[in-house]
């Protein structure tokens, strides 16, 4: 005797739901954060990155990178493109149009083409509200500078070093043009704060 269509539909639905329960979304999120996202609309921000050690701003001077830029310096104005729905970014000097990249020796360099994974960084907001930029290709290597504003090599950097701590700042006169931009703060109680949408 054949099963009724209603019963067969119920069995099929149960199998689908059982299959969905076995999905591990953590793996999906991790894979998506690591992968390039060419589908979502990319977000572009204009700001400066103030170095905690040098007391100046990161500059993309063509192939050379430093952290000696004054507030409002044209080479310190950075276009920061969110690369995935996670926290991966590509950073380009607005004036030179060169990208901030880290090569296999851990050296910070400027490149005219930012499509390489060497030019992608994972943005980490630290508990002290500073931001650290870890290489997406070379895990554990960070963008960092000495007190004189010279780049540190990736292998010599650690997340807890002041050398790798930066603060996002608007260029002089730009703040009022970018009101929608929200900075995320992280506390010990919550690793991630969801943006609030006006009701």
3-state SS string for the chain = CCCCHHHHHHHHHHHHHHHHHCCCHHHHHHHHHHCCCCCCCCCEEEEEEEECCCCCEEEEECCEEEEEECCCCHHHCEEEEECCCCCEEEEEECCCCCEEEECCCCCEEEECCCCCHHHCEEEEECCCCCEEEEECCCCCCECCECCCCCECCHHHCCCCCHHHCEEEECCCCCHHHHCCCCCCCCCCCCCCCCCCCCC
Instruction: Tell me the pLDDT of the chain (199 aa) as tens digits.
Output: 555 555 554 555 445 444 545 545 444 444 444 444 455 557 889 999 999 999 999 999 999 999 999 999 999 999 999 855 668 999 999 999 999 999 999 999 999 999 999 999 999 999 889 999 999 999 999 999 999 999 999 999 999 999 999 999 988 766 544 444 444 444 455 444 455 555 4
List the chain domain ranges: 44-174
Rounded to whole angstroms, the Cα distance separating 175 from 48 reads 11
Whole-number pLDDT of residue 85 = 60
- CA 76 and chain centroid, separation: 18
Whole-number pLDDT of residue 82 = 86
Whole-number pLDDT of residue 28 = 45
Which residue from 83, 78, 99 is spatially nearest to 167, judged by alpha carbons?
78
Whole-number pLDDT of residue 172 = 75
Whole-number pLDDT of residue 114 = 94
Rounded to whole angstroms, the Cα distance separating 138 from 108 reads 12
> What CATH number does domain 44-174 carry, 1.20.120.160, 3.30.200.20, 2.80.10.50, 3.90.180.10?
2.80.10.50
């Amino acid at each position: 005797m054949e099963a009724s269509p209603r019963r067969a539909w119920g069995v099929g639905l149960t199998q689908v739901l059982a299959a969905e329960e076995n999905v591990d979304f953590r793996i999906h999120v991790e894979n998506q954060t690591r992968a390039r996202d060419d589908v979502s609309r990319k977000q572009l921000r204009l700001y400066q990155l103030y170095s905690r050690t040098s007391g100046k701003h990161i500059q993309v001077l063509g192939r050379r990178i430093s952290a000696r830029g004054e507030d409002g310096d044209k080479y310190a104005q950075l276009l920061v493109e969110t690369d995935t729905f996670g926290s991966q970014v590509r950073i380009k000097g607005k004036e030179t149009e060169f990208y901030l990249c880290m090569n296999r020796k851990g050296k910070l360099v400027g490149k005219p083409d930012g499509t390489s994974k060497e030019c992608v960084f994972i943005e980490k907001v630290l508990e002290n509200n500073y931001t650290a930029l870890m290489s997406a290709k070379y895990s554990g290597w960070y963008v960092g500078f000495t007190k004189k504003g010279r780049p540190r090599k990736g292998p010599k950097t650690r997340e807890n070093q002041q050398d790798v701590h930066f603060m996002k700042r608007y260029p002089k006169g730009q703040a009022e043009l970018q009101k929608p931009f929200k900075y995320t703060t992280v506390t010990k109680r919550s690793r991630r704060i969801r943006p609030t949408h006006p009701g």
